[in-house]
Amino acid sequence: MIVHVGSEVSPQALDAAARRLGLTAIGSENLALSGGRLVHFRITNGQVADVVRMLEAEKIGIAQPNYIFQLQQDAHAAAPLKGDPAQYVIEKLHLRDAHAIASGANVTVAVIDSLVDVAHPDLAGSITGQFDAVAAADKPDEHGTGMTGAIAAHRRLLGVAPRTRILAIHAFSPDAHHPQQATTQSIIAGIDWAVAKGARIINMSFAGPYDPMLQLALKKAHDKGVVLVAAAGNMGPQSPPLYPAADENVIAVTAVDESDRLMPQANQGAHVALAAPGVNVLEAAPRGTYNFTTGTSVAAAHVSGVAALIMERNPSIDPAALEEALFSTAHDLGAPGRDTMFGYGLVDPYRALNALEAKAVAGRGQPETTASVPTDEVAIGTAHPKPPPGAAALVSGAPAAPIGPATPPAARTGAVPSASELTVSGIAPPASAPSIASAPAATASEESPVTIEKTRQACRQDAAARGVSASEMPDYIAVCVSEARLSCLKRAVAQKVRGAERHDFMNRCLIQPSAWQNSIKYQRTSQGLPAGLTGAPGDAAGAPASYPARR
């Protein structure tokens, strides 16, 4: 399990609580993003759920399981490697035309993955920083190498943004019983280090269960202007949403083949934002070799590369404006408009770059920057992190300390969590956590009070239909209203509705629940965990038993 403690908690107080509960400290690190400290414990007696409750009663910090996340890629596709085959991605994404405008120069992209082969010829000169979040003597892995190559390859292969600066974060590591996997602790350490090192984009080609501490780290990074991109997952259309892709601050990417057909095993859902090539893609592999690879992992890496191209042309662009550029220029696939299979459609870097250039010509002679985004847009989208039911209290009780100085995390141990650290059944929200309903409202609103009240009534009816208990009803309604506003705002941004028209658009959207209810990411829960991710004793990942080891 892991515990986040604020700077006001002394090491002596934490050690005393650990002794009372029979906890053995494995390691700890300071987090610049939160201004607190993350401590990794192994439990010697009892289950994680019981110890989480007891530690929360001590009112020392926020505790949770050290969740496991897994890479979203098939390492080898069936296609053979013959000589020097052309990459269909180059033509598919019009990369040569796009590179005549931008190639990702001076943009820093962090890749949180397995160990990258930094000596690969296609990555020569691209790796400007490395961080080991697991302190394990691993060999370079094809997943991390392939994802990095999809973004920055520039010799035999051509990455989407071949002149980017890559921060390679080694957060995934195998052990004797499991393939490449990472824990909450190693991923958060990677995010913290990446932000401290100036990453503008973070690529996350992995997936796992809903994770409150990871959610808060993502929000901190997003609030600092970092663009977050993640693989939607390869669990199939019946899978519940996987994280971090399903987080509201993350761009979720699915995979299509050369003919724009959806990869059959790709996750689906209202959170899917974009599609990108992800089937039989030729990528770099360790020891100077090359492999074909398939999955939403490489699709996510392609979108991270496109984001880097946009940032080169407009270095001051914020995440909301960048998302608008990506979403509004994507080629619609499937049902008209945004859908649960392809999101807004196939990403198009050349079209996105041209759209930026057109705005520069039509506007003030320069691309649109953060100054042109109304403050209420940012406030609505970031007023409070969004948990599923049953986890609201746990999330809202997280530390609210100011972001500390940008210093790298302390050295970490490479211990692999045991099953006793990760059993997640029966976790209850801490009694000491404040209600999410008390979260501060957005600083400005584009909707009338009557509209907001109607939205609350619709959310109340939705909660009743879902069987939400009376005690959880206020939290549910508060988050539901926030999500409804965010969903309508995203539609307004995608449709370029601004100024006086935005007020009418938001009011019309909110009084039509059909316009936003499908985007609410709530699932029925059991014991405070998202549907389909409720663990059982001995279920180390807190995920379905059928979780593939590597995708």
Q: H/E element holding 396?
A: helix 392-396
Q: Are 320 and 377 in contact (CB under 8 A)?
A: yes
pLDDT the model gives residue 177: 65
Alpha helices, DSSP H, located in 197-332 = 212-223, 296-313, 319-329
Closest CA to 388 of 534, 541, 227: 534
Whole-angstrom distance, CA of residue 323 vs CA of residue 320? 5
Tell me which of 28, 126, 173, 297 is the catalytic residue.
297
- Whether 257 sits among the annotated catalytic residues: the reply is no
Whole-angstrom distance, CA of residue 264 vs CA of residue 297? 14
Structural domain 89-367, CATH architecture = 3-Layer(aba) Sandwich (3.40)
Strand pairing class (281-285; 289-293) = antiparallel
Whole-angstrom distance, CA of residue 111 vs CA of residue 204? 7
Q: Are 399 and 32 in contact (CB under 8 A)?
A: no
Q: Which burial class, exposed, middle or buried, applies to 176 when counting CB atoms under 10 A from its CB (0-12, 13-18, 19+)?
A: exposed
pLDDT the model gives residue 363: 64
Task: List the pLDDT tens digit at each of the 551 positions of the chain.
Answer: 888 888 888 888 888 888 888 888 888 888 888 888 888 888 877 788 888 888 888 888 888 888 888 887 654 444 433 323 558 999 999 999 999 999 999 999 999 999 999 999 999 999 999 999 998 888 999 999 999 999 999 999 999 999 999 999 999 998 756 777 899 999 999 999 999 999 999 999 999 999 999 999 999 999 999 999 999 999 999 999 999 999 999 999 999 999 999 999 999 999 999 999 999 999 999 999 999 999 999 999 999 999 999 999 999 999 999 999 999 999 999 889 999 999 999 999 999 999 988 877 776 544 544 433 333 322 222 333 334 433 322 222 232 222 233 333 333 333 334 333 333 323 333 333 333 333 333 334 567 777 887 888 888 887 877 777 777 788 788 888 888 888 888 777 777 677 667 778 888 888 877 777 665 554 433 333 333 332 222 223 333 323 233 33
pLDDT the model gives residue 361: 72
Sign of the CA dihedral running 172, 176, 177, 179: positive
- Whether 113 sits among the annotated catalytic residues: the reply is yes
pTM beyond cutoff 0.85: no
Q: H/E element holding 201?
A: strand 201-204
**Identity of the amino acid at 329:** T
Tell me which of 28, 74, 103, 113 is the catalytic residue.
113
pLDDT the model gives residue 269: 94
pLDDT the model gives residue 195: 97
Q: Which tokens sit at 20?
A: 């009372």
The count of C-alpha atoms lying within 13 angstroms of the C-alpha of 378, restricted to the half-sphere facing its C-beta, is 14
pLDDT the model gives residue 373: 33
Whole-angstrom distance, CA of residue 242 vs CA of residue 232? 7
Tell me which of 4, 40, 99, 143 is the catalytic residue.
143
Closest CA to 291 of 127, 93, 73: 73
pLDDT the model gives residue 364: 53
- Whether 348 sits among the annotated catalytic residues: the reply is no
pLDDT the model gives residue 323: 95
Can you give the residue ranges of every domain in the chain? Answer: 2-67+385-410+418-422, 89-367, 376-383+436-518
